[in-house]
Structure 1
Amino acid sequence: MEFDYDLFVIGGGSGGVRAARVASANGAKVALAEEDRYGGTCVIRGCVPKKLMVFASEFSTFPDEAAAYGWDMKLSAFDWPGFRKRLHGELDRLEGVYRSLLDNSGVIMFDGRARLKDANTITISSGEEVTAKHILVATGGHPVRPDLPNAELGMVSDDIFHMEELPKSILIVGGGYIACEFACVLAGLGVDVTLYYRGAQILRGFDEEARGIIAEGMSEKGIDLHFGTNIVEMAPASEGRPAEGELTESEASMGAPAGELSQGAKVPDDYKGPIRVKATNGKEAEFDAVLFAIGRNPNTTDMGLEEAGVELGRRGQIVVDEYSQTSVPSIYAIGDVTDRVNLTPVAIREGMAFVETVFKNNPTPVDHKLIPSAVFTQPEFGTVGLTEEEAREKEPVDVYCTSFRPMRTAFAGQPYRVLMKLVVSKETDRVMGCHIVAPGAGEMIQLAGIAVKISATKADFDRTVAVHPTLSEEIVTMRDPMRSG
């Protein structure tokens, strides 16, 4: 059977674009459909704009720090509209780069929503219907809102970059890396930040000791942390409501008293006033904005996947094997839509492995072990390998760690602490995990990740001469374990 294309990619994010380009360079006839903006979550509404916001927020600490070093610096009020304009200009530029890369690679682009008609047929919202020998789904994921009345009053992470103005106060609901990163960013931009998290400590799944240091740093930054706490109710606050004696149309139809919102009454679509929130502990408070950062779900709804025979998991993720192949042989999936390791560089690796497997006759499973990652809180968190808790469950370990005030901020009288930690196998001396909480931890963990990936031992670290004076030298100067067992 002849097909229109050798490969049809659904999704124009980093993973899908890389797979399309590499397959085309290998001689395949390739097309790609994207319903929104090219670049996907990372470039348009994730890693890139968030990191630019991190940079912007860090300047707020410069005057106080500079004063300790003899400089007299003054910052005027943060210009959010001006920053946002430059931010979106940069995102437009990057999207153009992605389009150019595809075009120069000979990939045919369809701007529209693609659905599966069957195992080899794709329909596009722009009206086309095409066939492909292989289909690659790389549609990513999306932030979720809670099942709560008036939840539409709150933002999700996609909305942060489109705010017309910065709120004076914000409640962030969640304790994962997205919640913690935006809490630090917004606090640095001058917003009064409160965080509710239903768990006992932020950043569940990461190293316990590192989590504690980061929570301590967030509190010192002025972020009001509430653990074991969640929202039970939210509604427009009295401020910003209609004037006394006036009712919205929906309230009037329900017989609501003036100035009060009846349960179930529709909130006006243009409501921009403060939000009243009731927490599980019974306390009520008002915030100018609420941000839900409670998780992300795969983008698999209404794509025709199940009708085509593709197996989906409990959370809607596409189930794949080690070669990213679905239950339908002609259909593959990579990236966040598979809910394996939801990181942009991983999606790119999965896309390249897919091309090796399908178009280069070189079956290549994706290696998801010992992936370094960073959380861009302030201070940053870099991590690779097993946490101390995970390692202890496997075998006896030695834990080398140190926590201290770094020279630069200690001199300026700032309270922040850093953490350097190695988790080492007692039997083999292999470094099983490395965890760094410090300014620039993301840069440090990239290089430490190489050592951990090649199974370097603690003796290998010890043989490495320290670069002095630096924060990172502590990784190679810790001689005695802090804990063993």
Structure 2
Amino acid sequence: GCLVPVSAVPQCTPARIDPQSAMADAQYDYDYFVLGAGSGGVRTSRIAATHGARVAVVECAPLGGTCVNVGCVPKKLMTYGAHFTEEVSGAHAFGWNVEKPTLDWQRFIENKNQEILRLNGIYKRILENAGVTILYGKGAFVDAHTVEVTAEDGSKKTYTSKYITIAVGGWPFVPDIPGKELGITSNEAFYLKERPKRVLIVGGGYIAVEFAGIFHGYGSEVIQIYRGEQWLRGFDGDLRKHLEEEYRRQGIDLRFNTNCTSMSKNAQGGITCTLTDGSTVDVDVAMFATGRKPRTADLRCEAAGVVLDKDGAVVVDEAFLTNAPSVYAIGDVINRMQLTPVALAEGHCLSDTLFGGK
């Protein structure tokens, strides 16, 4: 999501570091090295650079992270587009003579992609204008002051930095069931080449619920299954029940206390999903919306002395400091509040503390 109450955003802790001693240390290539150029990574890089620090950020995917590329932004575009059929269906009562609309899915996806590219470019300019060095590749720790960057062509180069911040975000979790490779996650749902006629969504969190509504709005037949008794755990009870009733009224096939045990290809070129009650459903697309986990598997955190919890999240204190005194972490990778404005606030706060004397 992209909205959060101000009161819920983590506040800055008092600075523990002299900002002058944090910069221009000749023994390091950079004063500040950031792993990941998502919302938090871009913000902390930019703010540190405006305070005068020598900053580099490494990213292996398009700039902007989850929110810009496979999260808030494209999801809102898809949600907006999915409402048009509902609006058109009600237009006649208000005096409008509207022909039955037809969908050009490919045109929509192309336009959505162009908007994402525009935002990628804005992030690039923001970093460059602040004087941040952008490195393209995968970063991993050598030690608590050194990062090895592997470029797309396989070449490797190491960089040293006085401080390093982990801001690599999260990644969709897929349960380990037979045939899981046939399913997609929210990442791939934004880039489907064709609108699926029939979709199975596995999960009952807000991502699953949003995509059920999106696909239904675009005319797909939607089956949503959830292993629990009621979806949207942690949300207001009345809201959960009202949404269930509304989704059922609109024709979405909701099945609670149900899970998927396996997936296989069928003769029609689609996917056959076997459910816990022994029944099967045949669909064009099966989407896992079964949670997200911190993307730390390939960072070699142990080389820097950075401790992870049982879910792979980086363990930090109230000032975002890890067990290693030179390494910090912000955003979804610390698995607290997985929200864009929270990552922005954490990144801004951290750079103000390290380099701004605040």
**TM-score, structure 1 length as denominator?**
0.67
- The counterpart of 1:25, out of the listed 50, 57, 72, is 50
**Which residue is equivalent to 2:281?**
285
**Shift, 1:233, TM fit:** 2.0
Greater RCO, 1 or 2 (C-alpha within 8 Å, sep 6+): 2
Matched, 1:7 2:32: yes
**Shift, 1:175, TM fit:** 0.3
Matched, 1:90 2:86: no
**Which residue is equivalent to 1:164?**
193
Rounded to whole Å, the distance in 2 between the matches of 1:71 and 1:338 is 51
Give the partner amino acid of 1:55.
Answer: Y
Question: Which stretch of the first structure deviates more once superposed, 69-78 or 291-300?
Answer: 69-78
Give the partner amino acid of 1:139.
Answer: V
**Which residue is equivalent to 2:8?**
none
**Which residue is equivalent to 2:297?**
301
Contact 1:63 1:72 in 2 (8 A): no
**Which residue is equivalent to 1:207?**
236
Instruction: Output one character per residue of 1:128-165: Cα deviation in whole Å (capped at 9) or x when no partner.
Output: 21110100110001112110111111111100111110
Rounded to whole Å, the distance in 1 between the matches of 2:243 and 2:345 is 30
- The counterpart of 2:316, out of the listed 313, 320, 331, is 320
Question: Which stretch of the first structure deviates more once superposed, 286-295 or 301-310?
Answer: 301-310
Give the partner amino acid of 1:4.
Answer: D
Superposed, which structure 2 residues align to 1:66-145 within 5 Å?
66-126=91-151, 127-145=156-174
Give the partner amino acid of 1:120.
Answer: H
Contact 1:176 1:203 in 2 (8 A): yes
Matched, 1:189 2:185: no
Rounded to whole Å, the distance in 2 between the matches of 1:82 and 1:302 is 36
Rounded to whole Å, the distance in 1 between the matches of 2:190 and 2:328 is 32
**Shift, 1:110, TM fit:** 0.4
Q: How many residues align?
A: 329
**Which residue is equivalent to 1:332?**
328
- The counterpart of 2:175, out of the listed 135, 146, 152, is 146
Larger radius of gyration: 1
Rounded to whole Å, the distance in 1 between the matches of 2:181 and 2:187 is 13
Rounded to whole Å, the distance in 2 between the matches of 1:275 and 1:115 is 37
Rounded to whole Å, the distance in 1 between the matches of 2:161 and 2:149 is 13
- The counterpart of 1:51, out of the listed 49, 63, 76, is 76
Question: CA RMSD of the aligned region, Å?
Answer: 1.0
Identity %: 44
Give the partner amino acid of 2:113.
Answer: H
* Secondary structure in structure 2 of the residue aligned to 1:306: helix
Contact 1:198 1:230 in 2 (8 A): yes
Instruction: Output one character per residue of 1:268-322: Cα deviation in whole Å (capped at 9) or x when no partner.
Output: xxxxx21111111111121111000001110101211122110101100000111
Matched, 1:311 2:307: yes
Rounded to whole Å, the distance in 2 between the matches of 1:144 and 1:129 is 30
Rounded to whole Å, the distance in 1 between the matches of 2:117 and 2:333 is 24
Superposed, which structure 2 residues align to 1:427-446 within 5 Å?
none
Give the partner amino acid of 1:321.
Answer: D
Contact 2:33 2:161 in 1 (8 A): yes
Contact 1:300 1:337 in 2 (8 A): yes
**Which residue is equivalent to 2:272?**
276
Contact 2:226 2:259 in 1 (8 A): yes
Instruction: Output one character per residue of 1:91-143: Cα deviation in whole Å (capped at 9) or x when no partner.
Output: 11110110111001000010011111001011110322111010011000111
Rounded to whole Å, the distance in 2 between the matches of 1:198 and 1:123 is 41
Rounded to whole Å, the distance in 2 between the matches of 1:51 and 1:64 is 21
Instruction: Output one character per residue of 1:176-207: Cα deviation in whole Å (capped at 9) or x when no partner.
Output: 00000000000000000000000111101111
- List structure 1 segments (4+ residues) > 3 angstroms apart after TM superposition: none
**Shift, 1:360, TM fit:** 2.1
Rounded to whole Å, the distance in 2 between the matches of 1:307 and 1:23 is 25
**Shift, 1:361, TM fit:** 2.8
Rounded to whole Å, the distance in 1 between the matches of 2:261 and 2:57 is 43
Rounded to whole Å, the distance in 1 between the matches of 2:339 and 2:249 is 29
**Which residue is equivalent to 1:219?**
248
Rounded to whole Å, the distance in 1 between the matches of 2:67 and 2:357 is 30
Give the partner amino acid of 2:220.
Answer: V
* Secondary structure in structure 2 of the residue aligned to 1:234: strand
Rounded to whole Å, the distance in 1 between the matches of 2:65 and 2:298 is 19
Rounded to whole Å, the distance in 1 between the matches of 2:65 and 2:41 is 9
Instruction: Output one character per residue of 1:44-89: Cα deviation in whole Å (capped at 9) or x when no partner.
Output: 1111001000010000101221122222222422110000010101
Unaligned runs of 5+ in 2: 1-24
Contact 1:144 1:297 in 2 (8 A): yes
Rounded to whole Å, the distance in 2 between the matches of 1:9 and 1:304 is 15
Rounded to whole Å, the distance in 2 between the matches of 1:8 and 1:319 is 19
